[in-house]
Every structure is written in structure tokens, then in C-alpha cells.
Amino acid sequence: MTSTDPTGVLWPLALYTAAVVFIVGSMLGLGYLLGERHRERETGEPFESGILPTGSARIRLSIKYYMTAMFFVVFDLEAAFILAWAVGARQLGWSGYIEVVVFILVLLAGLAYLWKVGALDWSPRKSRGVKE
């Protein structure tokens, strides 16, 4: 569209927004009006393939579990950045190559730091040589 009139450009967006609001509102409203309502005690119980639950679902996990998951997400995201660089490596030339080398060096420095502080070590403290 080459029109300089802003209303000519924005009306499809306004129509789309109105349609989305209408559809979402009608789905929520119909679900509320037509949905079943149960107040029995069994309704609130967790159902796991017919097996009665035992114990609490709130299990306390070690911080090491969360740290490992966080490290995985961070380093996996960096792998996605490097893959994106590899796709356009020829167009980026030497400057792009130098930038990705610096990026990888920063990643390696972060990994070395995590290794040095023991964030990747799951063994008990006594076997690491650390006195309590």
C-alpha cells in the first residue's frame, strides 16, 4: 500500500484485534456458561491413571538440579546463536568470524568459572577436598 492515510493502513489491524477479542471473549463466556460444575470432594483430587497418589507432590529438589537446568538453557541458547552465525558465515566475512570467536571465548571463560567454583560438581563436599 502506498497510501499515506494512516486509517487506510490501520483498519486491518483494528479489525483483526476486534475479531481476536470477540473470539476469545466468546470462548471464555461459553466455557463459563456451558461448563460443568462439580463440588464433590473427589473432583479436587489428582487423578494419575487410576493410581491413588501417595505422599506430597511438593518434592524438595537440590539446588544442583536447578543450576544444571539453568546452565543447560544458557549454553543451549548460545548454541542456537552459533548455529545462526554458521548459516550466514560467508556473508559475514572475517569480522563475523572474529566476533563469533570472541563469543565462544566468553562462553569458555564462563564455563571455566563455573567449573572452578564447583557449580558443575555433584560429588559430596568431602571428596572435593573442601573442609567444612
Where do the domains of the chain lie, and which CATH numbers do they carry?
63-123 (1.20.58.1610)
In the predicted structure, residue 38 carries a pLDDT above the cut 50: yes
pTM: predicted TM-score of the whole model, two decimal places:
0.48
Stretch 60-74: mean pLDDT, rounded?
83
pLDDT-above-70 percentage for the chain: 77
CA nearest 107: which of 68, 85, 76, 66?
A: 76
pLDDT of residue 20: 98
Least confident piece of the model among 73-77, 81-85, 93-97, 120-124: 120-124
pLDDT averaged over every residue in the chain: 82
Q: Which three cell numbers stand for residue 78?
A: 548460545
| 45-49-51-53 Cα dihedral, nearest 10 degrees | -40
Three-class SS of residue 48?
strand
Q: Which three cell numbers stand for residue 53?
A: 497418589
In the predicted structure, residue 52 carries a pLDDT above the cut 80: no
pLDDT of residue 69: 86
Beta bridge partners of 51: 48
Give the type of residue at 50.
Answer: G
- Half-sphere exposure in the Cβ direction for 96 (13 Å, CA): 13
